[in-house]
Amino acid sequence: MQRKFPIFTVAALLTSSGLIDAAELPVGETRLSGTLFLDSTWLRKKSSGMPDNSDANVDLKRFFFNIDHRFSEVWSAQITTDIQWMRHDYPDPWLRHAYIQGNFSKAFTMRLGAAPTPWRSYVNKWSGYRYVERDLTARARIGGGSDWGGHVSGSFDTAGHIHYAAAVMTGASYQKLRVGDIPDVSVRISWEPNENSAISLGSYRGRFAQDYGIRQALHTAQSWNLMAAWANEHWRIGGQYFYARNLYRILQPDSDRSYGWSVWTSMQLTPVVAVLARHDKLKPSTWLDPYQQDRYSHIGLEWKINSSLRMAAIWKHGSIRNINQQRQTIDEAGVWARIHF
């Protein structure tokens, strides 16, 4: 009998920011829970021809408060609020999740409302350190982590090795309640030959609801994604790649394309301590601004204090370059934390 991977299991259950899926509650039960992403860091920005800008501060990156309720063997619901309070800004409250779920079988689950999108939450489950940094597609602004619409998921085979997820949604994400002329569509197909590995293909097509009102869309954005990952109780290793057309050109006349890749790894040194690292490269404009480039890296140590508290000492480095060879570098060092209650 294979050993389960407890850290991976916790990360998987936290995909929707709640401890467990509402469909796993006893019928009639309501559960309240919450998760906070906090950091206390020193940040320095350097730009070509400009003086250095640095400061130290505390950020509330995310505060999720969840209400889960199970109505019957089939139907359940989740509401998740999301508050962000970044340095020098006012807090931003949002309604991240608000959906009703029908769990009809392993082959078909339906969610109606604002629910997690197919790709991003799945990658975060395998990479395992969402509280430290957003994933590559979030940094590239390919859709949102949650969106209003219809979402379906399930497994094609009885063994549960082939999974799918699809959504027809507004494209504006949960942060903006607006719709465009056409809905956005996101699809993911994953092959998990065992509990420790996965290969996934994904696609996104839409306009991110930018064509609302009298605004006329000149392009429709498309992206294609690939992820391969492996994880057990000692290691995580994985990577993802995307290729996209017109991500930032919905309302602009000229076409453009972009691509990016990300690799990550972590090693559990002890049951409490892990070392982790990641590197991203993003080319936002290979046709119109081929010199533009965005690189990001981090490395650090994590302490899993208990099931409610994880802390990580991290150093981050990022650099952005544009067609004029202007360069901005960002260095950040400090402590990141995820608190669950």
**What is the per-residue pLDDT for 177?**
82
Q: How confident is the model at residue 90 (pLDDT cuts 50, 70, 90)?
A: low
Question: Within a domain: residue 50?
Answer: yes
Residue 74 Ramachandran class (φ > 0 left, ψ -120 to 50 alpha, else beta): alpha
Q: Is the pLDDT of residue 225 over 90?
A: yes
**What is the per-residue pLDDT for 327?**
84
- Average confidence (pLDDT) over 316-334: 88
Question: Within a domain: residue 114?
Answer: no
**What is the per-residue pLDDT for 20?**
56
Spatial separation of the C-alpha atoms in residues 128 and 304, rounded to whole Å: 13
33-42, 74-83, 173-182, 291-300: which has the minimum mean pLDDT?
A: 173-182
Question: Within a domain: residue 272?
Answer: yes
**What global pTM score does this model have?**
0.87
If one compares 6 and 278, the residue with the highest pLDDT of the two is 278
**What is the per-residue pLDDT for 48?**
75
- Average confidence (pLDDT) over 140-158: 93
16-25, 88-97, 275-284: which has the minimum mean pLDDT?
A: 16-25
Spatial separation of the C-alpha atoms in residues 112 and 105, rounded to whole Å: 16
Number of domains in the chain: 1
Question: Within a domain: residue 90?
Answer: no
Question: Within a domain: residue 51?
Answer: yes
User: At 166, which CATH number?
Assistant: 2.40.160.10
Exposed, middle or buried: residue 261 (CB in 10 Å: 0-12, 13-18, 19+)?
A: middle
Structure confidence by residue, pLDDT tens digits, 204-220: 999 999 998 888 999 99
Range of the domain at 254: 37-60+123-340
Question: Within a domain: residue 25?
Answer: no
Q: Return the SS3 of 254.
A: coil
Q: In 300-321, which positions are buried (b, 16+ CB within 10 angstroms) versus exposed (e)?
A: bebebeeeeebbbebebebebb
Question: Within a domain: residue 170?
Answer: yes
Q: Is the pLDDT of residue 14 over 70?
A: no
- pLDDT more than 90, % of the chain: 75
Q: Which two tokens stand for residue 59?
A: 């950020």
Question: Within a domain: residue 81?
Answer: no
